[in-house]
Chain A
Amino acid sequence: METYRDLPQSTYTLQTTESVRTGTWRTLRPVIDQSKCVRCYACWKFCPDLSIEVHEEGDYPKVDYDHCKGCGICSNECPKQAIQMVREESVCSI
């Protein structure tokens, strides 16, 4: 997209927001302790950023750190306290 000639006629969008790494927004990140996780998928259900991934029923939930904003809902909703929110600085960046 270099000049006005490359623009579509009218402001319609061209791709999804998947390429936006909103993970850079967080200051705390969720870490799932699989030993406590009972795979009830509450974390998957309540994530506003679709950053808890469960490919097949029965899999353990996995965090997509590219997109997770660190809101902490998963940690708060987990019935088994299996998800801890950890300060971003103490682990390597994404």
Chain B
Amino acid sequence: MIEVRFHGRGGQGAVVASELLARAAVMNRLHAAAFPFFGVERRGAPVTAFCRIDLKPIRTHSEIYYPDYVVVLDHTLLGMTDVLHGLKPDGVVLINTSKETCDIGVKWSRVAIVDATTIALKYGLGTESAPIVNTAIIGAFSKVCPQVPLDYILESILKASPGDKSLNAAAAKEAYEAVKGEW
């Protein structure tokens, strides 16, 4: 069983990211479940979403406290929410940022980074003030998480992504290539 926690802001597509990731895992003949933290979603306010992927059916219906992966859709959240909370010792953090690993101040051994915002805006996904980075970030995620290969991520996006499906798929593919860091 692998457990993923997404950190984003209202309007950036964190919840859809968890859904598309789960759909990709199911397409890969795995079992998956995706759910948001049911809070008061406001555009811009911090939002958390979760995804469980496993070989056997997933029956647990509670939040994820010790994730294997943490995905941060907006690096400005680092200053506010403790995104590393409960991350397993060998867990991996994937962060959307245009900066280098060293100067985003994440004290963790396994950190991957990708500039999903620039990629998303390049494909016209969202706006300058509210970029939609979810498809780019799950493209990058498949690079760090072997259980969900890129082909299934693209298949999931082409089937269920909101907005322009091919542009979203292209963003995911480019982000997959652009991931940097050691994890």
Contact = CB atoms under 8 A, between A and B. Distances in A.
A64 to B, nearest CB: 16
B111 to A, nearest CB: 18
Max count, chain A CB within 10 A of own CB: residue among B42, B80, B98: B80
Contact of A25 (B42, B75, B128, B131): B42
A27 B131 CA distance: 9
A4 B79 CA distance: 31
Interface residues of A, number: 15
A70 B46 contact: no
Nearest to B98: A89
Nearest to A27: B129
Interface of B: 9-10, 42-46, 74-77, 79-80, 98, 128-131
B79 A27 contact: no
A94 B9 CA distance: 17
A52 to B, nearest CB: 18
Contact of B129 (A22, A24, A70, A93): A70
A39 interface: no
A45 interface: no
A65 to B, nearest CB: 13
10 contacts: A22-B45, A24-B80, A27-B44, A27-B74, A28-B128, A87-B128, A88-B76, A89-B75, A93-B76, A94-B79
Given A24-B80, A27-B9, 18 more contacts: A24-B77, A24-B79, A25-B10, A25-B42, A25-B44, A25-B45, A26-B44, A27-B74, A27-B76, A27-B129, A27-B130, A27-B131, A28-B129, A70-B44, A72-B129, A88-B76, A89-B75, A89-B76
